[in-house]
């Protein structure tokens, strides 16, 4: 007996058909849509635009891979790759997933501005949305067969209550050390996947920060680490792009802006094998997998089925940048006088961690920075003098340092003062001859930092109170109180206003006193970094010809060590360190975070401006105007 054929509608046939066997990259090419709000190139996703992401995303589909680590520079597609993996999970491989961001605010923002718009833009994802908004919130969304949790690493409760097979973690170097009173966020989130130990998937994504950062540690624990290699258009040699192979003209005689423009215009990449140029217009060709580009591991004995894989990628591979862009960013950071900008270039452009460690120096190494410059003489290229004064037993240690606009500096004077009158004379009366070929000129201290101290003087008052009294008597336009902060501040200097005297009396200070809080660890890092700068480069650190071993002993009295918590900190190992502190204060007074520092000076600062404010009438008198009678009547 013949039975009638079963006739199905297209919708019914689609419902009964098995899902297509897609990889993450194939799914993204078929279903992902980029939006103008979050993408430079909105429209359908094309993996061919960033071909280095194909193997990165498809690693999720490998059944033996449990952990994927992406140590990428910024803006090369790492977050979009994470979004593609998330979309694939919702559409093709539904298991409960936790998406972790540095803070709860970050999680809500990404959910509102990226995840939910991505779901609405893709028909494959939009069809999975629940009918009720109660099951589609910013922090928790329900899809067929799974739940998606968007949480912050600073929220221990969501991290400890939701079992998930997939743990996707973005910008992990920005996570706090602990979540509330519990363990660190990485450990807490991995506990959520314990029940799925044989099928779990953990994806870590971040640009690196310091050597001890989360992404660097996660990368170091991988079974195998891959680097993207590209072919040379001339010889075909596969190579990992290295910033040191970018050649450019670097004319130090030009102004800063002209020097950067020239470098950007002349930048070319040189093949490490044949020496031929690899041009910017060849970028699409050498990035393509069809032409031989591929991920390569430096480890010759890598496991056949690694459980954890890492990928490292710098901005040199970005299809939206040129060699000149990379060189310009490097020179901007190099010439800025700010190690934080150099750190940003290394992290965000080269995808390399900043080595937050200072190699200990011997006294003899410090003295190699001596020049032929005589003491008490200001070099010709200097535009300002700053002084650092540290309160000690029985007096005050001090240094006077000369600065060029590019923050090259020279030690001009250092020593010990016995009284407050000597401090006043140092700051307001001492003059230093400028080294010039013709004629004679002199400079005084432009800005000085005075340690507010904390010991008790012979008069029975605290050094802090004595320092406040001195600062009140001599104004705030040249000499300022400074205080070293033991805890990191996130910046080198922070301004505060003191309105009362110390002690029980707490007498008010009319108008207040300016106090600069200094992150001493950052400033000491900066000084030792400058000690490594090559002579002639910006921020080079010089000493005068008669700098003695006493100075060198003070600068080597501390070294940076790893604490029990794993972080590096400055530790006093022997002898006095007063001159080291003085150098910190002098450098702080020249720093760009101290009202622009010395770089804002257009000419040489000859003397401190200690005169009082001009009377209102001077405005009219200087310009030859008659003073209005009504102004006198109001006085």
Strand, helix or coil at 374?
Answer: coil
**Cα–Cα distance, 95 to 87 (Å, whole number):** 12
Task: Kindly list the domain boundaries of the chain, sorted by start residue.
Answer: 21-51+75-206, 363-600
**Cα–Cα distance, 293 to 291 (Å, whole number):** 6
The CATH class of the 21-51+75-206 domain is alpha beta
Q: What is the pLDDT of residue 626?
A: 47
H helix runs in 399-442, sequence order: 420-428
The DSSP H or E segment spanning 68 is: strand 67-72
CATH node for 363-600: 3.30.420
Question: Tens digit of pLDDT for each residue in 245-266?
Answer: 999 998 878 888 899 999 999 9
Count other Cβ atoms within 10 Å, centred on residue 289: 14
**Cα–Cα distance, 61 to 28 (Å, whole number):** 13
Q: Are strands 395-403 and 508-519 parallel, antiparallel or unpaired?
A: unpaired
Count other Cβ atoms within 10 Å, centred on residue 267: 20
Question: Tens digit of pLDDT for each residue in 61-115?
Answer: 999 999 999 999 998 999 999 999 999 999 999 999 999 999 999 999 999 999 9
Q: In the chain, what are the helix, strand and coil shares in percent, each to the nearest 5?
A: 35, 25, 40
CB 385 within 8 Å of CB 443: yes
The low-confidence residues of the chain, meaning pLDDT below 70, are 1-8, 10-20, 156-161, 179-183, 337, 356-360, 437-438, 454-461, 475-476, 503-505, 562-567, 606-635
CB 286 within 8 Å of CB 229: no
Q: In sequence order, what are the residues at sequence separation of 6 or more whose Cβ sits closer than 8 angstroms to the Cβ of residue 483?
A: 451, 452, 515, 516, 517, 518
Q: Are strands 384-392 and 395-403 parallel, antiparallel or unpaired?
A: antiparallel
Count other Cβ atoms within 10 Å, centred on residue 498: 17
DSSP string, 486-530: SS--SSSEEEEEEEE-SSSS--EEEEEEEEEEEEHHHHHHHHHHH
pTM: 0.72
Segments of 83-231 assigned E as strands: 97-101, 140-143, 146-152, 166-170, 201-206, 224-231
Read off the DSSP letter of residue 234: T
């Amino acid at each position: 007996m013949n039975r009638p054929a079963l006739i199905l509608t297209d919708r019914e046939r689609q419902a009964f058909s098995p899902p297509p066997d897609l990889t993450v990259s194939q799914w993204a090419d078929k279903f992902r849509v980029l939006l103008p709000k979050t993408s430079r190139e909105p429209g359908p996703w094309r993996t061919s635009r960033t071909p280095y992401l194909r193997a990165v995303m498809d690693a999720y589909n490998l059944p033996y891979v449990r952990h994927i680590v992406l140590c990428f520079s910024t803006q090369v597609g790492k977050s979009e790759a994470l979004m593609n993996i998330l979309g694939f999970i919702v559409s093709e491989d539904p298991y409960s997933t936790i998406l972790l961001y540095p803070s709860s605010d970050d999680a809500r923002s990404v959910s509102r501005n990226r995840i939910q718009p991505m779901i609405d833009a893709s028909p494959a994802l939009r069809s999975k949305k629940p009918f009720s908004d109660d099951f589609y919130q910013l922090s928790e969304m329900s899809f067929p067969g799974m739940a998606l949790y968007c949480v912050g690493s600073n929220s221990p409760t969501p991290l400890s209550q939701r079992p998930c097979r997939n743990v996707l973690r973005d910008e992990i170097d920005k996570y706090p050390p602990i979540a509330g009173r519990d363990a660190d966020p990485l450990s807490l989130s991995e506990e959520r996947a314990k029940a799925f130990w044989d099928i779990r998937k953990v994806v870590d994504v971040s640009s690196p920060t310091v050597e001890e950062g989360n992404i660097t540690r996660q990368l170091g624990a991988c079974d195998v680490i891959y680097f993207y290699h590209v072919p040379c258009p001339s010889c075909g040699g596969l190579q990992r792009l290295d910033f040191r192979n970018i050649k450019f003209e670097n004319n130090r005689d030009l102004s800063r802006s002209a020097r950067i423009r020239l470098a950007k215009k002349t930048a070319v990449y040189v093949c490490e094998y044949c020496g031929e140029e690899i041009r910017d217009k060849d970028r699409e060709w050498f990035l393509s997998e069809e032409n031989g580009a591929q991920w390569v591991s430096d480890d010759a004995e890598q496991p056949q089925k690694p459980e954890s894989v890492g990928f490292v990628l710098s901005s040199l591979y970005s299809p939206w940048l040129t060699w000149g862009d990379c060189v310009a960013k490097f020179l901007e950071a190099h010439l800025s006088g700010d190690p934080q900008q150099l750190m940003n270039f290394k992290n965000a452009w080269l995808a390399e961690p900043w080595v937050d460690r200072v190699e200990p120096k011997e006294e003899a190494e410090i003295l190699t920075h001596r020049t032929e410059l005589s003491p008490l003489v200001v070099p010709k290229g200097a535009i300002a003098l700053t002084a650092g004064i540290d309160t000690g037993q029985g007096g005050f240690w001090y240094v006077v340092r000369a600065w060029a606009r590019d923050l090259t500096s020279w030690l001009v004077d250092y020593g010990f003062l016995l009284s407050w009158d000597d401090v006043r004379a140092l700051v307001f009366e001492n003059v230093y001859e400028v080294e010039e070929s013709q004629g004679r000129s002199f400079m005084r201290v432009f800005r000085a930092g005075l340690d507010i101290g904390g010991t008790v003087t012979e008069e029975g008052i605290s050094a802090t109170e004595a320092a406040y009294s001195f600062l009140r008597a001599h104004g705030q336009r040249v000499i300022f109180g400074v205080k070293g902060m033991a805890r990191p501040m996130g910046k080198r200097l922070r301004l505060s206003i003191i309105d009362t005297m110390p002690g029980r009396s707490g007498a008010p200070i009319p108008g207040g006193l300016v106090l600069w809080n200094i992150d001493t660890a950052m400033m000491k890092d900066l000084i030792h970094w400058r000690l490594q700068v090559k002579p002639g480069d910006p921020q080079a650190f010089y000493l005068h010809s008669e700098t003695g071993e006493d100075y060198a002993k003070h600068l080597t009295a501390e070294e940076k060590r790893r604490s029990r918590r794993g972080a590096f900190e400055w530790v006093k190992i022997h002898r006095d360190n007063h001159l080291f502190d003085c150098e910190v204060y002098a450098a702080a007074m020249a720093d760009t975070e101290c009202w622009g520092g010395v770089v804002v000076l257009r000419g040489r600062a000859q003397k401190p401006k200690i005169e009082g404010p001009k009377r209102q009438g001077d405005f009219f008198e200087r310009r030859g105007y008659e003073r209005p009678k009504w102004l006198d009547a109001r006085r």
